[in-house]
Amino acid sequence: MTNKLRLRVMEKEDLPFVHNMFNNPAIMDYWFEEAYLSYAQLQEKFSKNMDDERQRHFILDKSGERLGFVALYSIDPRHRNAEYAIMIDPDHQGNGYATPATRCAMDYAFNVLNLHKLYLYVDRENEKAMHVYKKAGFKKEAVLKEAFFVSGVYHDAVIMSVFQRDYLKVE
């Protein structure tokens, strides 16, 4: 097995790994979602979404070890855009995986799906994530004031995006 970081399609065997992250409040607060998902619900979502062309779910993998989850949501074939999302397992955070994982997702989105634009929502307080996204080429588009209620407090969400033309220029 190669020692290279890669995105691979999420499989049924990955559900316990993903389930742990989706139930970790420290992760899900940054996704503006409640850390509340049963394993049965996750299995049902996985089965239901297997043929959904509007989303892609990947596992960030290095030498067979699961490091994180990466997704493209709301893939719109007409307008050629999608929402990008990533979570790195807490045991692997701080090791520099987020930027190359983001670039792998951008490569897939722009070179395989031929998307025009990727966008994301990030908590204004999540400076580390914003640094990663800027490093990968995302630019701030707007701020949604007090858009999400997390742990008893409203949070601002920053919308960031990157265009295919800009990604291909740097590549």
Residues tagged active-site = 133
Cα atoms found within 13 Å of the Cα of residue 69, Cβ hemisphere only: 22
Check: CB of residue 134 under 8 Å from CB of residue 126. Answer: no
Q: What is the DSSP letter of 12?
A: G
DSSP 27-54: HHGGGTS-S---HHHHHHHHHHHTT-TT
3-state helix, strand, coil in the chain (%, to 5): 35, 35, 25
Q: What are phi and psi of 93, to 5 degrees?
A: -70, 150
Nearest-angstrom CA–CA distance, 103 and 101: 5
Name the region of 105 (left: φ>0; alpha: ψ -120 to 50; beta: rest): alpha
